[in-house]
Structure 1
Amino acid sequence: MDEFVCNVCQHKIAGEIVEVKEMMFGTGEAFQYGQCGNCGTIQLLNPPPDIEYYYPDEYYAFSDLSFSNPHVNWLKTLRIKLFRFFDIDFFKPVYGDWLKLLDAKVNEKITDIGCGNGQLLYELYASGFRDLTGFDPFIDMDFVINPSLRLYKRGLDDIKGPFDIIMLHHALEHMPDLAHAFRKISQLLSVGGRALVRLPVSDGEAWQIYKQHWVQLDAPRHYFIPSLKAMKLLAEANDLEIYEVVFDSSEFQFWASELYAKGLPFFDTRDKSLFPKEELLKYKRKSLQLNKEGKGDQACFYLKKK
């Protein structure tokens, strides 16, 4: 058996090797994942040489960008201002808490790495932000929407900074070298800059319950799923400080994993219709409780450049 070393802490990956099938599109290929006994990082051991094959046009992040008219954009700008001033959930957009914890200002240089179609950046633009750049190696081409909002087909190593704020929304786990990615993120941040990294974590209860059927493994697109300990090690090694961790897992961790356990690919159903409403409500309540306990299957990490 080959010897595998953890990308985060360089300890030997020993113990059970889990065979995980590609289940988003149901192609059925099996991939091996192991977990570091020291830092808890789950790691893909046999990545495919043709990873782009697993990001077809129907991949969810590549849907068409949805634009809104100037009147709606004015309302979005008003909404974010009201939320930040009054801190009332009624005014809160989906990205409101992220901006608040990042202390994001409208003229700061903000980038979303792994931006997909750029919808989040467009929503920030519609809410008044004016220096927004997105990067994704899997989009078709560069797309300069206007001087304030630009999308580029580039991988992490082709990005030049600095940026005041860097966001990675479920993008870091798609990168083949986690330690290198953290070094690059630190280099791209200005002094005092902030980063938001959202991704699945191996501390979650769902990993213990479902193992090879856990939806967040998403073989083979997810190279790594770190633990909280691993994220702290990566931050400390790269002059970064984690100043907030917020668990934001949902009932998806349960119902989608149940689909996979039944051998049903995600894109054959794409919804929760196979589950009774009472069961979905149970999953939702369980997810909220696990988030409170720090046992959800994904989290938001807020980091600052020292």
Structure 2
Amino acid sequence: MDDLSPGDSYAVGVDVGGTKTKACLVRMADGAVLIENTRATPCADGGGAVLDLVVAMAAETQREAGELVRGAPCPVGVCLPELVTNQGEPGSAWNFEWRGLDYRTPLSAFGPVYIESDVRAAAFAEGWIGAGRDAGIFVYVTLSTGMSHTLVIDGKPYGGARGFAIHFAGAELVAWTGPNKDIEVRQHIEVFASGKGMGERYGALIGKPGATARDLFEAAKSATGANRLLENSLLSIASYLGQLINILDPAIMVIGGGVGGNPDINRRLGELTRPFIFADLARDLPIVPAALGDNACAIGVAALSWRAGTAVSQ
């Protein structure tokens, strides 16, 4: 993709996550992050508390950006760990509830309100200046607290008819088992293999509620039970990644997020995914780590907000 702006233009991206929220000042000429602020996301306190945090962090970042932007417009974009419609409206409440909440009034203090899903924001950034920059068609997958994906075509994340083409669905009928092959086997991939799911399963294994996926990754280096749990989780994820490749036929697959961005996990996922790829000619496609790390979502939604504001002003 071409650079969005050749001049001194800036935007603020606020990445609202299930555990932390990050606000970044991003330079549009090259996607550089010039200011970065991070706070814990108060999901347990409800959507209103999350909105208050977003407004406060956007205002804080704009204040810090004062000398850099020198009065130039500095729009704010917000990405959510939720379904977001093609009209920019929240479409789910897995982490907190913004549906029916008047979030537009406080956010409009920063200019036109721009809302996007976190996975499409990150995918846009990876297609602009990251691992997907030279790929005409790629799939971006985020493996973090939750799991999401999006197809990117010529730099544009595909939203689907409603904006919901990002998730790994629910409790699919995976197989039939038992002596008479009449017992359903269903699996909700996020419950089983997301970062949150792996942490909860490991916590149950060792009797330690509150264990995290990172705890599991560390324990798997030396403990047989932890390693088996991790391998089962990764194999389950790999089967889904393989089906994404079979269905969408991308040039490359880019994997990011707190789990997917772990180099060892990323390498192992690549190894486990290839046997699930049906076409011989696709089996060696690049499966690569995301390039922008924790900043991908904020960079992407800042750029998308700036682009939307520029289109409106023209």
How high is the TM-score relative to the length of structure 2? 0.29
How high is the TM-score relative to the length of structure 1? 0.29
Higher normalized helix content (fraction of residues) = 2
